[in-house]
Every structure is written in C-alpha cells, then in structure tokens.
A = this chain, B = another copy of it.
Amino acid sequence: MIIILKQNASKADIAKLEENLRADGLKTNLIEGVEKSIIGLIGDTAKIDLDNLYAQDVVDSVQRIQETYKNPNRKMHPEDTVIKAGNVTIGGGSLQIIAGPCSVESEEQILTTAAAVKEAGATMLRGGAFKPRTSPYAFQGLRSEGLKLLIKAREQTGLPIVTEIMSADDLPLFEDIDVIQVGARNMQNFELLKELGKTQKPILLKRGLANTIEELLMSAEYIMSGGNKNVILCERGIRTFETMTRNTLDISAVPLLKQKSHLPICVDPSHAAGVISLIEPLSLSSIIAGADALEIEVHCNPQKALSDGGQQLKPEAFNEIMKKIKSLCGYLGRNLG
C-alpha cells in the first residue's frame, strides 16, 4: 500500500504516522519527493481501513497495490472453480444454457416453456417466482407457489432450476432449488449476501447496474467469506447514456473476470440488451469471450407474458439461436451441458 502525503506535511507529523503504522505491525518506507513524499507500506495491509487513513491530516491519498478480494481471487486459487448444480456442472470448460420465462405465471406456462427449452437444448431452467418490479402495481410473482411449479417443471424435464431470492426470510423456501439468483438490485444487499454465505447453495450473483467489476468481486467475497464457495458471477449490462438498448453489455467483463477470478462467469444477454434481435449476437460473443453459462429469457407465449414480454424469445426463435450455439460449441470444442 502506498500513502501519498500532503505537500505541507511536517516531518514530525509524518514520523508520528509512521510510528502508528509500525505499531500495527507494518513496515514503512518513506520516500521524500520534490513536491510530495510517500510512504510505502509492507505487510498485511488488507486489514487497514482506507477511510481511516484518509482521515489523517497529513494524508493526501492512498493507493492499494494488492487486491482487496481474497476468496474470489485467482491468485489464491489458480484452478477454475467448478460448481455442481443438480446434474450439471458450471465452470471448467462446459457451457450451460439457462433458459426459461422471466416469471413463472402458471403451471401450464412453466411446463410448456420448460419442455420447449429442453427440446431446443437448454441445460438449465430459469423462472422468477419472487419478482423485483420497479412499480408496486406490476405483477410481483407467484412467490412460494411459483417455486413449487418450478420444481414440478424440473421433475418433468430433469433441468436444474435457477430462481431469484429477494429476502433472506424466504431462504427456507429455496431448500430444494438448485441455484439461487441474487438480482442486480440486490448485489449490495449485504444482509442477504451474509445469509447466503451460511448456506452451501450455488449462488448466481448478478452485477449491479452501476457496480464496478471490483465491487462484484467484493460482493462474492461477502458470500464466500461466510463459508459458501459456490458463487457464479453474472454480467447483465450496466447503465450508460446509450438509449437504444436497455443497458450496455460490458463484454470486457467476461475475460477480465476470468483473469482476475477462478469463479464461473455467466452472461445474461436478455437483460443486457432488452432487444430480442440482439440476443443471438450477444450470446455468441459472450461464449467466444469465455462465458461459462448464458441466461436467456424464453416464454411459450410472450404476447401473454406478465412481465418483460418484449425481451422474451419464442421457443422457435430460441431454437434457432441454440442451433448457432451448438455449432459454436462444436467449433470451440466445448461441451454443452
């Protein structure tokens, strides 16, 4: 860690700061510059609170050299993490396609859609039971009833299920769910992350709309430091000034996360774009950039959907995209499922 000192910092004050840092077991190296001086700190600096350093009168700014995330860091764990979810594994070279409706709406809807996505080649089933909606007047999901319908769909298709949690209070209801999703708006709901860290469930953690890649890794750290190492990171678009798409898919996040972390990476092209005609190109781009999984919204009858109608694919359109994905997997030598 490097501490940059204020131009007018007195020698006495600098000495006092060094003394305090050494009392914390760190080694200090003062470099006196022409204008400003710096202190190089050696030792276990991860435990130092930057805010605290900033509060010292002589400190101008502070820069960490080591990353603050430990558990998700590839340096700590050079091998790819492979997570088991039902009968599939995420990470480690295979590709999982998680498909299904935005919301579970009825038994018929979810069973029909599940059968269709399985038929097309999806390897996991998604469906929202608890729905985070911007408006309190919009459909809020079938909640516990929706979870039961998902389980029924799994029984019929064999597809492991992925569904979103919105409150730690609901955790008991998720006991039989294969992968628990944390939505973008809850990426920094730290109380929820802590509770998920106490389970051993695979967690699909979505990046928040305005969160940096480092913050996503710190949220993974919240879950992992609690004891749950089964975290899948998900890029789903960030907010920018562009208005032709709902969000801007940060494709660079995929290879960057693969470099920085050993955790599997998922991409959600449906929410990233919000435009049906972009789902195919964004899916193929994400796979070739290294994604371990994709999450795609498919609805047996989007025109009757209770949410996100405009970005859910019809089964036939999904089938066409799956053909391209299978072909690309063949080219890349990756297994689907």
Q: Which residue of B lies closest to A254 (CB)?
A: B281
Given contacts A52-B309, A55-B303, A135-B68, contact A213 B242 (CB under 8 A): yes
Task: Count residues of chain A with CB under 8 A from any CB of chain B.
Answer: 106
Interface: A166 (CB within 8 A)? yes
Out of B50, B65, B302, name the residue touching A36 (CB < 8 Å). B65
Distance of A183 from chain B, by nearest CB (Å): 9
Q: Pick the most buried of A40, A43, A133: most chain B CB atoms within 10 A of its CB.
A: A40
Question: Which residues of the other chain, B, contact A259 by a CB distance below 8 angstroms?
Answer: 277
Please give me the residue from chain B that is nearest to A140 by CB atom.
B190
Kindly identify, within residues 173 to 220 of chain A, every residue whose CB is under 8 Å from any CB belonging to chain B.
185-186, 188-192, 194, 208-210, 212-215, 218
The answer to whether A36 and B66 have CB atoms under 8 Å apart is yes
A231 within 8 A of B: no
Residues of chain B with a CB closer than 8 A to A31's CB: 29, 31, 40, 42
**How many copies of the chain does the oligomer comprise?**
4
Residues of chain B contacted by A134 (CB below 8 angstroms): 188, 215, 218
Chain B residues closer than 8 Å to A52, beta-carbon distance: 303-306, 309
Min CB–CB distance A239 → chain B (angstroms): 4
Given contacts A33-B65, A35-B65, A212-B242, contact A189 B190 (CB under 8 A): no
A140 to chain B, nearest CB (A): 8
User: Nearest chain-B residue to A237 (Cβ)?
Assistant: B252
Residue on B with the closest CB to A41? B33
Complex: A185 Cα to B55 Cα, angstroms: 24
Binary flags per residue of A232-256, CB closer than 8 Å to B gives 1, else 0 = 0000001111111100111111111
Return A246 CB to nearest CB of chain B, in Å: 10
Task: Kindly identify, within residues 241 to 286 of chain A, every residue whose CB is under 8 Å from any CB belonging to chain B.
Answer: 241-245, 248-256, 259, 272-273, 275, 277-278, 281-282, 284-286
**8 further A-B pairs in the complex, CB-CB below 8 A; given A136-B190, A136-B194, A244-B256:** A31-B31, A38-B65, A51-B309, A55-B305, A133-B190, A212-B243, A284-B289, A285-B285
The residues of A with any CB-CB pair to B shorter than 8 Å are 2, 4, 29, 31-36, 38, 40, 42-44, 46-47, 49-57, 63, 65-66, 68, 130, 132-139, 166-169, 185-186, 188-192, 194, 208-210, 212-215, 218, 221-222, 225-226, 238-245, 248-256, 259, 272-273, 275, 277-278, 281-282, 284-286, 288-290, 302-312, 328, 331
